[in-house]
Structure formats: structure tokens, C-alpha cells
Amino acid sequence: MLPYNIHHVAIAVPDLEATLEVFSALFNVRPISREVVEEQGVREAMIAIGGSHLQLLEPLTDDAPVARFLARRGEGLHHIAFAVPDIEAALDHLRAGGARLIDDSPRRGGGGHRIAFVHPSAVAGTLIELVEIDHA
């Protein structure tokens, strides 16, 4: 069994700056990083909360996956990300368990991490992201 720890919880938002203002005013938190991830079609901000992170995602274009999510469901929980030390091993483990994968192999995500997504049908209707880090 591979170790899985929560790396971050992602929230899709239509306006990153407005949402950051709300989080700052209500919870006195500021982003620890901001990034545009062209490959994912998002502008993101990470907020440290406890031992984990909250990731806010704003689509770059109207046809980006996060934009389609917002159009269908509105703003809110987009995915939960698990930190894993070896993403290929994690994908093999999930595949062997019968999980439906969106990504058969890793791709580049925020922070330069290698990531892969597990289809919501695999786990309680929730999109799961795997994030490879050196110390999961």
C-alpha cells in the first residue's frame, strides 16, 4: 500500500483576485504562491492552511477544463490532491485496483510537479489528483 497524504484541496473560481480578497478578509491568509499553468489552462494561487494547502483555480479561457466545470457546476470544490512519492507506482496500484484513470501517465502541473488525475467515477464522484513529491 502506497502512502497517500492530502497535498491540497482545489476550488474552482471565476475570479481569482476577488476570491483571494475574501479569503484575506475572512481568514487573514495570503497566497504563498501564484502561477499560470498554461498546460492546465489555469491561473492558480496556493494558500497554506495547517499542514496542507488550498488551491484556487481560475480558468484562462472559456474552453479550459476549469471553465467547463464552472459552467456546469458553478464555483466550489474541484478536486482533492494526494501527495505520492512515486506517481507511476501510484498509477499502477490504482489501475490494478480497477480505478478509471483520466491520465495513464503523468503530466506537468503547478509547481513543476508531475501530476495525474483519477476519474470521479472511481471515488465517490470526486476528482482526485495525484501529485508526485519527494516526501509524501
Residues forming the active site: 8, 44, 55, 79, 129
For 18, 30, 34, 79, 118, the CA distances from 127, given in Å and listed in that order, are 25, 26, 22, 5, 6
All three cell numbers of 38:
498554461
Residue 132: how many other CB atoms lie within 10 Å = 20
Terminal CA-CA length for the chain:
13
Q: Is 26 helix (H, G, I), strand (E, B) or coil?
A: helix
In the chain, the amino acid numbered 98 is G
| CA 136 distance to own-chain centroid | 15
**Separation CA 91–CA 111 (nearest Å):** 20
